[in-house]
Structure 1
Amino acid sequence: MNKTSIGKLLALFVCCLTLAACSTKNDFKPLFADDLSNADYDQAVWSMQDGILTANADQAIWTKDQYENFVLELEFKTDVNTNSGVVIYCPDKKDWIPTSIEIQIADDHHPQWKELAENLRCGAIFGHKGANEQLVVKEPGDWNQMTVTAKGQQIDVELNGKKIVSANLADWTSGTKNPDGTDIPAWLPKPYCEIQPKGYIGFQGKHGESGIWFRNIKIKQL
């Protein structure tokens, strides 16, 4: 094989690698349109401005489509004492709390959150599995990056580049006790092994005086 042929093969190889990288990157798409036309929400509560999604009351915003087997990436910024969350596998938007999975978003730097159980703090699967490292969330006012990978009953959560939760919902056969023996909140009685691994995706709004902001929300289906 001469030098010209080798050069052409190398050029073709580089081109293929570039196309593969672009294809992988383009697998992600915005979860919500800029005008929120594909969202289910109260227009008096939620707004999108300059790519930042925020709320002025305690109401959730939802996708109109249901999702299963996906990677969800987003950035969020907390306020002092923020209490919010990302909801997945929701089958019923009106009664989502006992039937869905919530990945908690909170200001763990606030004294109130430091005193609570690990499975109620930021990045935890709320009430069920705490993060394996605490205070990964940044101080209020700084942007955080979160990745939620949901593949069937397997849920993995990354926060600011650290994998902090890995959970298989099949392990939660009780509605009162977690596999580690801790109590499940009384308002979450459905065993996670019975939750369907498909549903709407939602974001909790503003609790009390503490705001929450989201941006760069995108999803890739697996």
Structure 2
Amino acid sequence: MPIRTLSLFAALVFLAAGCASDSGDADYDAAAESETPEMADPHPDTSEPGWMPLFNEDLSNAIDPGGVWAWEEGVLTSSVDQGLFTQATYNDFVLDLEVMFDPGANSGIILHATETDTSAWIPYSIEVQIADDYAMKDSARHHQESGAFYGHVPPSEQRIKPAGEWNRYTVTARGDSLWTALNGMEVSEIDMSEYHSAETNPDGTSIPPWLSNPLAELATEGHIGIQGKHGETGVWFRNLMIKPME
């Protein structure tokens, strides 16, 4: 074969090998990408078996303060700052709900409560915070932001939406441990058994004085509640569902 023809042949072989290599890399990248798992949705499908409404439409399964809470077209709201609690107590469970609030709102999801009277529940429960973070975005009170275990664990990032938009919370409780997911992401977790002080958290931050009982001494079974209207700022709940776990 003439040298010129041989050189041309070698060049074609080299180019073909390169194309095959590029194609193989592309195929590998596509395969690797297709094998990369998508992030699991931290919010459950509440249409599956085992799920039930947290509160009946007539509030017959609630510790009802009377005339304070009412359903309006599938949305639960209150006229004053008074909590609504379940009659039943729960230990291990998954709780899922949606909430919307007015500007400047301050509300919460109350867990493991062994007291249900107005304000008496505060030192005898653990609370997942619901708040208008945008109204206090310059504040250093991260333990009071939405998704926090109030006074104890701040959220890993801000996930709450502005006032007037619906937010989805999922709270899982198992033994001493609780986890909170907010709008598509897990934002906080806590092991109550690690909190032996009523003054200082394990990370050295101060605990508000009204949380006067160490979490490690609280019950891990209790009533579930929601906080009502705080001052003049309204709060609305819908699709409140619970799944007790064995």
TM bin, normalised by shorter chain, reads 0.7 to 0.9
Determine the structure 1 residue equivalent to 2:156.
Answer: 132
Determine the structure 2 residue equivalent to 1:115.
Answer: 139
Structure 1 residue ranges without an equivalent (≥5): 1-21
Q: Would the aligned equivalents of 1:42 and 1:61 in 2 still touch at CA under 8 Å?
A: yes
Find the aligned partners of 1:68 and 1:114 in 2 and give their Cα distance. 36
Q: Would the aligned equivalents of 1:75 and 1:214 in 2 still touch at CA under 8 Å?
A: yes
Q: Would the aligned equivalents of 1:137 and 1:159 in 2 still touch at CA under 8 Å?
A: yes
Q: Would the aligned equivalents of 1:82 and 1:212 in 2 still touch at CA under 8 Å?
A: yes
Find the aligned partners of 1:63 and 1:159 in 2 and give their Cα distance. 22
**TM-score between both structures, scaled by the size of structure 1:** 0.86
Find the aligned partners of 2:207 and 2:70 in 1 and give their Cα distance. 33
- The code of the aligned residue for 1:88 comes to L
Helix, strand or coil for the counterpart of 2:76?
A: strand
The reply to whether residue 141 of structure 1 matches residue 126 of structure 2 is no
Determine the structure 1 residue equivalent to 2:186.
Answer: 163
Determine the structure 2 residue equivalent to 1:11.
Answer: none
Helix, strand or coil for the counterpart of 1:98?
A: helix
Structure 2 residue ranges without an equivalent (≥5): 1-44
Helix, strand or coil for the counterpart of 1:146?
A: strand
How many residue pairs align between the two structures?
199
Determine the structure 2 residue equivalent to 1:104.
Answer: 129
Larger Rg belongs to: 2
User: By how many angstroms is 1:23 displaced?
Assistant: 11
Structure 1 moving runs of 4+ over 2 Å = none
Determine the structure 2 residue equivalent to 1:59.
Answer: 82
Find the aligned partners of 2:223 and 2:46 in 1 and give their Cα distance. 26
CA-atom RMSD in angstroms: 1.5
The reply to whether residue 71 of structure 1 matches residue 94 of structure 2 is yes
Helix, strand or coil for the counterpart of 2:216?
A: helix
Find the aligned partners of 1:206 and 1:200 in 2 and give their Cα distance. 19
The reply to whether residue 221 of structure 1 matches residue 244 of structure 2 is yes
Q: Residues 44 and 191 (structure 1 numbering): CA distance in 2 closer, same or farther, change over 3 Å? A: same
Determine the structure 1 residue equivalent to 2:39.
Answer: none
Give the percent of matched residue pairs that are identical in Structure 1 and Structure 2: 42
- The code of the aligned residue for 1:168 comes to D
User: By how many angstroms is 1:24 displaced?
Assistant: 8.1
The reply to whether residue 173 of structure 1 matches residue 179 of structure 2 is no
User: By how many angstroms is 1:40 displaced?
Assistant: 1.1
User: By how many angstroms is 1:219 displaced?
Assistant: 0.3
Task: Provide Cα deviations, 1:99-142, integer angstroms capped at 9, x if missing partner.
Answer: 100111000011x35414110111101101100112x1001111
